[in-house]
């Protein structure tokens, strides 16, 4: 199997990609700085075996993303990419006026537009599975479900969340999901007017059977409890379709979200495709 990872230099994208590599997949990484893996013994072994492919480029540059798709396709049977894993996120800045924010304001949204608009033609092969990672707390219902003491933390993320709202609006469009305008409409610095008609953007509803949006609660750098069995007989983490209600929760580790990503792709796709899900302990 063959994956393209955008945002895989660290965190959920990295841990998920390593799990896929361990399972025998080919994984192509689009990286602004491929040197990020120079001292990574795990990735280096997969580079030597030809399973991990590094492409230098920036997801904000459309031609770089197009080249990453082409490189990924060249490593799959019949030029096929089986999975797009999109986990782009910026390092937050903080100011008194803006709270937490990222630069540029539309990092995630513009990167996602570039990725979807440069997808190879699919007339001769199936669409790839598409997984994007968003966040809990974006919508009014999701924010309401958060533990009371966490709400001030999420309030600091208002500006950074505008970018994720833009990305969710894109996914809602291409998957034909309802998006409540009360949950926020992207400003023009996030999504330009008429973005739905941008050349190359998949048609409305065309990705409804191949996409999964993951909305984890507050992320930690903790261990993967799904592997260590630290929760005894309890499920290692909870996963729920947001259409069945928001599950709230305090935290979940990035490594456990990656565990879910790998499980969803390799074992439980029919259960989760076409959904937006929360993940939390």
Q: Are 135 and 215 in contact (CB under 8 A)?
A: yes
Q: Are 231 and 280 in contact (CB under 8 A)?
A: no
Over residues 19-45, the pLDDT tens digits come to 999 999 999 999 999 999 999 999 999
pLDDT digits (tens, 9 = 90+) for 173-215: 999 999 998 898 899 999 999 999 999 999 999 999 999 999 9
95 pLDDT higher than 90: no
Question: DSSP alpha helices (H): ranges in 23-157?
Answer: 41-49, 62-74, 107-117, 140-145, 151-155
From residue 24, give the alpha-carbon distance in Å to each of 12, 49, 158, 266, 278.
Answer: 19, 11, 39, 11, 28
The count of other CB atoms within 10 Å of the CB of residue 183 is 15
Helix, strand, coil content of the chain in percent (nearest 5): 40, 20, 40
How many C-beta neighbours within 10 Å does residue 238 have?
A: 16
| pLDDT, position 196 | 95
pLDDT for 6 equals 98
| Per-residue confidence (pLDDT) for residue 124, from 0 to 100 | 63
Q: Write the CA distances from 170 to 100, 132, 155, 191, 248, integer angstroms.
A: 23, 11, 23, 9, 24
Residue 143's SS3 state is helix
């Amino acid at each position: 199997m063959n994956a393209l990872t955008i945002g895989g230099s660290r965190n959920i994208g990295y841990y998920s990609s390593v799990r896929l590599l361990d399972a025998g997949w080919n994984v192509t990484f689009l990286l602004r700085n491929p040197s990020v893996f120079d001292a990574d013994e795990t990735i280096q072994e997969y580079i030597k075996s030809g399973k991990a492919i590094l492409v230098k480029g920036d997801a904000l540059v459309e031609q770089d993303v197009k080249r990453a798709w082409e490189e990924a396709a060249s490593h799959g049977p019949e030029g096929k990419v089986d999975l797009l894993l999109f986990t782009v996120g910026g390092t937050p800045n903080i100011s008194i006026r803006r709270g937490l924010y990222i630069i540029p304001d539309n990092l995630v949204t513009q990167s996602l537009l570039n990725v979807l608009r440069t997808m190879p033609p699919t007339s001769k092969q199936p669409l790839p599975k598409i997984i994007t990672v968003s966040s809990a707390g974006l919508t009014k219902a999701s924010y309401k479900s958060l533990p009371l003491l966490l709400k001030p933390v999420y309030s600091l993320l208002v500006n950074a969340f505008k970018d994720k709202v833009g990305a969710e609006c894109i996914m809602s469009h291409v998957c034909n999901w309802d998006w409540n305008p009360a949950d926020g409409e992207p400003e023009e610095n996030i999504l330009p007017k008429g973005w739905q008609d941008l050349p190359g953007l998949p048609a409305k509803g065309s990705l409804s059977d191949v996409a999964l949006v993951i909305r984890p609660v507050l992320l930690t750098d903790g261990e993967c409890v799904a592997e260590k069995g630290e929760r005894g007989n309890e499920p290692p983490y909870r996963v729920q379709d947001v259409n069945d209600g928001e599950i709230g929760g305090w935290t979940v580790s990035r490594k456990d979200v990656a565990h879910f990503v790998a499980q969803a792709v390799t074992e439980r796709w029919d259960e989760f495709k076409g959904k937006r899900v929360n993940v939390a302990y």
